[in-house]
Amino acid sequence: MPDAAGRSPPGVLQVLPALHSGGVETGTVDVAAALVAAGWRSLVASAGGRLVGDLEAGGSRHLTLPLEGKNPLGIWLNGRRLARIAAAEGISILHARSRAPAWSALVAARRTGLPLVTTFHGTYGARTALKRRYNAVMLRSDHVIANSAFTARHIEAVYGRPPVPMTVIPRGIDMHRYDPQTVARVRQEALARDWGLPEGVPVILLPGRLTGWKGQMVMVQAMARLRDRGAVCVLAGDDRGRESYRQQLQEAVRQAGLGERVLLPGRCDDMAAAYLLADVVVSASTEPEAFGRVTAEAQAMGRPVVATSLGATPENLVDGVTGWLVPPNDPAALAAGIERVLALDAGHLARLAEIARSRVAERCSLESMTGATLQVYRQVLELHDRRRRNERGRDERGA
């Protein structure tokens, strides 16, 4: 709706490959909802996915474009499409959240003269000069957002200090959704039945898609060392077509004699309930986490965490206070960390939960993430408008 001066509210077009699931996608939906709540116009372009309904329910519009591909011609054609959309919809800012869509958004920004914001959600592979050049499109914007201090350090180490402002904005955790007080007991009971959890035994939860670097194999090896504990481990995550890796895990479980102690139930759609079922939550990643969503969500739910000391995880977890850090690829250390948590008394666990939840709310709540992102948009628009005024002034003086 136009303001009193007849001006339309600013519009933001976020661009990403698809809206299936994951941190990039949920962050996009969260920022889109915050834009609408702030009176801005919000559009998202992607190849579609199961989160489109959530996006549109929040008041944003979705535009389906073939943005998942990396073919140079397709990227250029998408750039032209985005430029036409931006012009027709009166878009004020383009925001790219992945590399191939960022190349398309860069084409659109140059054709329209609009400012471009990019977000580094990960570190990306950068072993060759060609790959680094491809990745560096994320720095060819008016403002770079990094999802953690670790990611920001990686950017500077690999690509050099960005020539534009860079802001660290941790991924936002919905403190209402991830609140132990809002999760009904019936949800926990239903999930426990679905997973076939036995009663009265410790539950160890490792959430995350089934892929080698998430450390499920290390967790299986750690469980072999915890055999006397009688605990059950749940490897909750979708294999996303990696059937061979799932089969490798199942075979490792069988060979270790852990058939009833390690469960692979697939994707979980109620992670808040899943966290509450767990006595300890594990993040066993063998490669750096750019943010570490599991670590943050689990602490928001007041659960103790044992996590590998890589990437951004140490930013989210205070070792010995809100959880414990262990070396990566070390089943013995992982097992020892889990043993330590399982030995804590109720008073210690209650104090840990209070500190952990408070810290997550302070540094990476959903409101802090969306508020900081909208502030970046405002800064970018202010700088863009100032440049345009200066250019008009130079043109008038030249005339």
Q: Are 292 and 356 contained in the same domain?
A: yes
pLDDT surpassing 70 at residue 343: yes
* pLDDT at residue 395 in the model: 65
Q: Are 257 and 200 contained in the same domain?
A: yes
For 262-317, the pLDDT digits (tens) are: 999 999 999 999 999 999 999 999 999 999 999 999 999 999 999 999 999 999 99
Q: Are 241 and 371 contained in the same domain?
A: no
DSSP string covering 77-88: HHHHHHHHHHHH
Per the structure, the complete domain to which residue 40 belongs is given by: 11-172+366-398
Which pLDDT band holds residue 52 (cuts at 50, 70, 90)? very high
Q: Are 124 and 240 contained in the same domain?
A: no
Query: Is 273 within the bounds of a domain?
Result: yes
Using the structure block, give the residue that is written with the tokens 């990745």.
135
Report which residue type is found at 37.
A
Q: Are 241 and 287 contained in the same domain?
A: yes
Q: Are 194 and 296 contained in the same domain?
A: yes
Is residue 309 within 8 Å of residue 289, measured between CB atoms?
no
Distance between CA atoms of residues 172 and 186, nearest Å:
27
* pLDDT at residue 97 in the model: 97
Distance between CA atoms of residues 214 and 220, nearest Å:
12
Is residue 171 within 8 Å of residue 296, measured between CB atoms?
yes
* pLDDT at residue 398 in the model: 65
Distance between CA atoms of residues 178 and 156, nearest Å:
33
Distance between CA atoms of residues 205 and 273, nearest Å:
12
Instruction: Specify the DSSP element, H or E, that contains 76.
Output: helix 72-89
Secondary structure E strands in the chain: 11-15, 41-46, 61-64, 93-96, 116-120, 143-146, 166-168, 203-207, 232-236, 262-266, 280-283, 305-308, 323-326
Query: Is 5 within the bounds of a domain?
Result: no
* Number of structural domains found in the chain: 2
Q: How large is the greatest C-alpha to C-alpha distance in the chain, in angstroms?
A: 85
For 163-177, the pLDDT digits (tens) are: 999 999 999 999 999
pLDDT surpassing 70 at residue 3: no
Q: Are 237 and 372 contained in the same domain?
A: no
Contacts of residue 335, Cβ cutoff 8 Å, sequence gap at least 6: 222, 223, 225, 226
Share of the chain above pLDDT 90, in %: 88
For 354-369, the pLDDT digits (tens) are: 999 999 999 999 999 9
What integer best gives the mean pLDDT of the chain? 94
Query: Is 119 within the bounds of a domain?
Result: yes
Query: Is 18 within the bounds of a domain?
Result: yes
pLDDT surpassing 80 at residue 255: yes
Token pair listed for 318: 């205070």
* pLDDT at residue 399 in the model: 56
Q: Are 47 and 87 contained in the same domain?
A: yes
Share of the chain above pLDDT 70, in %: 96
* Overall average pLDDT of the 105-112 stretch: 98
Query: Is 296 within the bounds of a domain?
Result: yes
* pLDDT at residue 274 in the model: 98
* pLDDT at residue 127 in the model: 84
